[in-house]
Amino acid sequence: MKLFTLARASEIHNISIENLTQLLEQKLVPHIQKRAISAKVNYYIPSAFIDYAKKILNTNDLKNQTLKIENFYNKNGTKIITFSNLKGGVGKTSIASNFAYTLALLNKRVLLVDMDSQANTSRYFANQYFTSNSIKNIFDSLMRKEKIDKELIHKYIKKIKFENASLDLLPSELALGRVVEFSRAVFTMPHKKLNDILKYIKDDYDFIIIDTPPSTGLSLHMAIYASDIMSIVTDAEDFSVNGLKELSSEIEEIEEETDRSITVDSIFINKVKNSKLHEIYIEAIAKLAIERNINNVFTISDGMRVKEAQSLHIPMLEYKSELDKGLVLSSSIIEYAIEKALEG
């Protein structure tokens, strides 16, 4: 995937810089803005975003486009997507968060839900701790049989504003794990409880993206029960292929237990290195994906930029002014986000 400056995009797509600027300002073409030291705003446009604009505008010719579109809300309602794997440290949080951000950049209304009591997603995007001020409090209210409504849930949702896009975050905290497990003793069907919570606010979003902990347990079951789609994040290491088989059996068990069928539509193989060994594992994972009718297998290279962006609390697509290098890492995330945005 290529990243164009405004001048280059105008040249390649045969459209004047003025017209292209208008399209960017009207948010018809998603883009990344960076303010230079001179305070001048520079625009950067990934090639895939130009294709996306053409698709949503139903045209091959951006040259004559001046129409204003009010929004890009999903026509088919809210889609809920969970990122998971029982294995830890594979990149669930990095990918879920950056995927949510990319959807927001595509002008979708996005809620990112942190169901992991490690609260890494919350810290990545909000850079703070949410003690007694998180989704855990909503579970507390549910267990106390207090009245739950849209307003109560929105009290715990944080607005996260980045340079080029904004999204909402329902954060987590350390005590979440304990509260979720305790809910087993209180509810007859505890796995439905996240779904019950999200029902109240679903209409406010085009996408709800859920990050999950690296273990089987009620948090994962709740997330899966609430979701339309599941995406698996893995690395290309020794136990990953077996781990994926275990996850598949776990999913089957959850399907039985919760009486809900789950669509796994993608696998992200993360932290890929240029090595023969990784090639072998990728092939094995791709084979497994075909056997299970999983249509998308994406790879993401191992690179310091993912780590750096996360530790600086910046989405990858906004990280560093030398954007062309940083962007390569998230091209699979962009592709998957565009696919989902167009389906919406």
Ligand X SMILES: Nc1ncnc2c1ncn2[C@@H]1O[C@H](COP(=O)(O)OP(=O)(O)OP(=O)(O)O)[C@@H](O)[C@H]1O
What residues line the site for ligand X (CB under 6 A)?
88-94, 116, 118, 120, 214, 270-271, 300, 302-303, 306-307, 310
- 120 binds Mg ion per the rule CB under 5 A: yes
Most distant pair of Cα atoms in the chain: their distance? 64
What tokens were used for 113?
């839900």
| Minimum distance from residue 239 beta carbon to ligand X (Å) | 14
At 56, which amino acid appears?
A: I
Which option in Mg ion, ligand X, none does residue 270 bind, with CB closer than 5 to 8 A by kind? ligand X
Minimum distance from residue 263 beta carbon to ligand X (Å): 21
In the bound state with Mg ion, the residue whose beta carbon lies nearer, of 77 and 88, is 88
CB nearer to ligand X: pick between 78 and 330: 330
Is 164 a binder of Mg ion (CB under 5 A)?
no
Q: Give alpha helix (H) positions in 183-275.
A: 193-199, 218-226, 240-258
Instruction: Compute the least distance from the CB of residue 220 to Mg ion, in Å.
Output: 12
Kindly report the number of other CB atoms within 10 A of residue 46's CB atom.
26
Nearer to ligand X, 6 or 214 (CB): 214
122 binds Mg ion (CB under 5 A): no
Q: With the C-alpha atoms ordered 167, 136, 199, 228, is the resulting torsion angle positive or negative?
A: positive
Residue 303 site contact among Mg ion, ligand X, none (CB < 5 to 8 Å, cut-off depends on kind)? ligand X
Phi/psi for 255 (5° steps) reads -60, -45
Give min distance, CB of 103 to ligand X, in A: 17
* Nearer Cβ to Mg ion (92/193): 92
Nearest to 1 by CA among 38, 25, 40, 32: 32
Pairing, β 41-46 against β 3-5: antiparallel
What residue type is 244 in one-letter code?
Answer: L
Least separation in angstroms between CB 58 and ligand X: 35
Return the residue of 31, 87, 92, 109 that touches Mg ion, per CB under 5 A.
Answer: 92
Residue 82 touching Mg ion (CB under 5 A): no
CB closer to ligand X, 20 vs 96: 96
Taking the alpha carbons of 35, 73, 122, 300 in that order, is the dihedral positive or negative? negative
Q: Whole-angstrom Cα distance, residue 111 to residue 71? A: 17
CB 182 within 8 A of CB 218: no
CB of 93 to Mg ion, least distance (A): 3
Considering only CA atoms, give the Rg of the chain.
20
Q: Is 87 in the site for Mg ion (CB under 5 A)?
A: no
Residue whose CB is nearest to Mg ion in the complex, by number: 93
The residues that touch Mg ion, with contacts defined as CB under 5 A, are 92-93, 120
